[in-house]
Amino acid sequence: MAITLYSLPCCPYSRALRERLVARGSPFTEIDLAARPECVPELVKLTRRRRIVPVLVDGSRIEIAPDGGTEF
């Protein structure tokens, strides 16, 4: 299954989750919403209108700010 991480560079929770995925050796695709604002509507749909990161999509499982998050 493909893992997708929605993040912002200014978010310490995004950074921590990215580091955990790298440490585990989990392949993932990161969507930096600062660099790709066109993906914000997709994130808002996944989070039921919340503008918060990080969001981790792993197959059909969606984790919204699992250890805390940054709203934007």
CATH class of segment(s) 3-71: alpha beta
Q: Are 27 and 3 contacting, i.e. CB atoms less than 8 angstroms apart?
A: yes
Q: What pTM was computed for the model?
A: 0.94
Partnered with residue 7 across adjacent β-strands are 32
For residue 37, what pLDDT band results from cuts at 50, 70 and 90?
very high
Q: At a CB cut-off of 8 Å and minimum separation 6, what does 27 contact?
A: 2, 3
The residue count for the chain? 72
- pLDDT for 1: 66
What are the pLDDT digits (tens) for 46-72? 999 999 999 999 999 999 999 999 999
